[in-house]
Amino acid sequence: MNTYLDDFREKEIWKSGITRPALTPAASPLHQQRRELNTNQVKTSSLVDATVIYASAPPASPESLPDPTESQPQQLEAEGEEAEAEAESDTAADKRAEPAPTAKPWFFRNGEYYPRPAKIFSNRKARKQHAPKLFPHQDPHNDRVINQLMYVPHNYDQIKASGKLKTILLYNGLGPWNVKKGREVFLRSKCPVDTCELTANRDLASVADMILYKDNYIPTGIRRPSNRKQVTMMYYLECPYHTQNVKVPDAINWAPTYGRDSTIVPPYEKWHYYDPKVQQLEQDQNYAVNKTKKVAWFVSNCGARNGRLQYAHELQKHIEVDIYGACGNFKCSRSTADKCFEILDNDYKFYLAFENSNCKDYITEKFFVNALNRKVLPIVMGARPEDYEVSAPRRSYIHVDEFASPKELAEYLHILDRDEELYNSYFKWKGTGEFINTYYWCRVCATLHNEEQLRKPRWYSDLNDWWRGVGVCTTGSWRNFKARKDVISDD
């Protein structure tokens, strides 16, 4: 037996868990691979079981969940006991009054369960403990998409009865957003909070509840609004390398981007499990059967600044890599894309889902659509390894930074190519959840109704530094990359 390859086979290229203190050097032993596979055999279940479990115990609304990591203020012992007693009493009352729903949350396909208004607590400690985590400073390591989708303000019945709407001014006009004036987008989406209206009338700038700027055109001279509760929001979709350099110090307090530390994250895709306890399922399909080719890549931009083409060429020295498009020897036009993806599914085991830039949280359709929705195992480059861990289904890809070199990556791919059980273990996530509609406008409207946070606005001291400062992007590997500083402050 080849001792080196046997040792290599034991390497674990998947790091389980949501957070990790530092990226393990790619050359260090990763010996948990087989143990994890054995553990997964115990944890896996059938899709029917997963659905039943989820239906009987859906996720609690975010406002009812305490934050165990948030330090509580020092208070008198009597007050603390009173708050705890109140919280326990309220929680018990909720359980008696509201039976567990039997439907999926509304944002799933065929979802029916809608959230109820948030509870209000008279005691300050209980109120803080149960506050909905909607903003980055409340939950900086989460994109909070689900929290925002399930948030309804405590007084929403009165808000609806009053007929008052939150006005959102789209400074760039309605066209760039592909929406209509008024409430249409909120009503059509069946938002839990739909008391908002869109307008492009700049004459309403002084009275609008929010002014939203889009990255394709951002005016100069933006200033803080005189109305302290008015929100100014800057929207970025592309990565910092491909967006306008904007200098608006202390004038922007919300920033929706693909980054998890953004106010309202519009991700390219959002994966959510039916039941977080069931993240792996036995599959009735062999994803390696009849596949005779190794690695494929569809690419047209040959000059990406992260050196992805150079990496692919180096990888070609150690394993078969077929490059389709302008940068390779194989042809695949947009008009024949369906045929190309059919070839990918039937013939290839691996696909290079390489982004054009290495920026934190920057994971696009190159991964979600071109690779993860196919019958191939994605090899990813772009965002940090920890970003993929929280954005993708568990054990669904391989990150290049888990290896010291393209040669070492190729050696592991050869092992997967020879071991169908190991290769198929990367597809056990299928059927455990779905890519959900994140309903961007619904979340904007709901979050805009969080009056407590509107009374305490926070501002980006330097939006440009937050968006494209040190540590946001790199032209090389993410290994041993240092974290960046925080650049958002209280008013």
* pTM, two decimal places: 0.76
Q: How far apart are CA 411 and CA 90, in angstroms?
A: 57
Q: Give the residue from 182, 210, 208 showing the smallest Cα distance to 195.
A: 182
Q: Give the residue from 248, 178, 177, 238 showing the smallest Cα distance to 212.
A: 177
Q: How confident is the model at residue 91 (pLDDT cuts 50, 70, 90)?
A: very low
Summarize pLDDT for 118-130 with one digit per residue, the tens: 888 778 787 777 8
Burial (Cβ within 10 Å: 0-12, 13-18, ≥19) of residue 369 = middle
Helix or strand run (H / E) with residue 366: helix 365-367
**74 SS3 class:** coil
How much is the pLDDT for 411?
98
Summarize pLDDT for 477-489 with one digit per residue, the tens: 887 665 443 433 4
234 phi and psi, to 5 degrees?
-115, 125
CA distances from 32 to 8, 13, 15, 315, 395 (A): 11, 9, 9, 25, 13
What is the separation of C-alpha 82 from the centre of its chain, rounded to a whole number of angstroms?
38
How much is the pLDDT for 199?
98
CA angle (163, 443, 213) in 5-degree steps: 95
Q: Give the residue from 267, 276, 266 showing the smallest Cα distance to 433.
A: 276
Q: 58-62, 85-89, 230-234, 288-292 — which is least confidently predicted?
A: 58-62
- The larger pLDDT score, comparing residue 302 to residue 51, is at 302
Q: How far apart are CA 122 and CA 135, in angstroms?
A: 22
How much is the pLDDT for 480?
62
Ramachandran assignment for 352, one of left (phi > 0), alpha (psi -120 to 50 degrees), beta (any other): beta
Computed over every residue of the chain, the mean pLDDT equals 79
**Does pLDDT of 289 surpass 80?**
yes
What is the separation of C-alpha 49 from the centre of its chain, rounded to a whole number of angstroms?
26
Q: 22-31, 296-305, 369-378, 436-445 — which is least confidently predicted?
A: 22-31
Q: How confident is the model at residue 438 (pLDDT cuts 50, 70, 90)?
A: very high
Query: How many residues would you count in the chain?
Result: 491
Q: How far apart are CA 377 and CA 79, in angstroms?
A: 55
Q: Which domains does the chain have, with CATH numbers?
A: 39-68+97-276+436-480 (no CATH), 282-430 (3.40.50.11660)
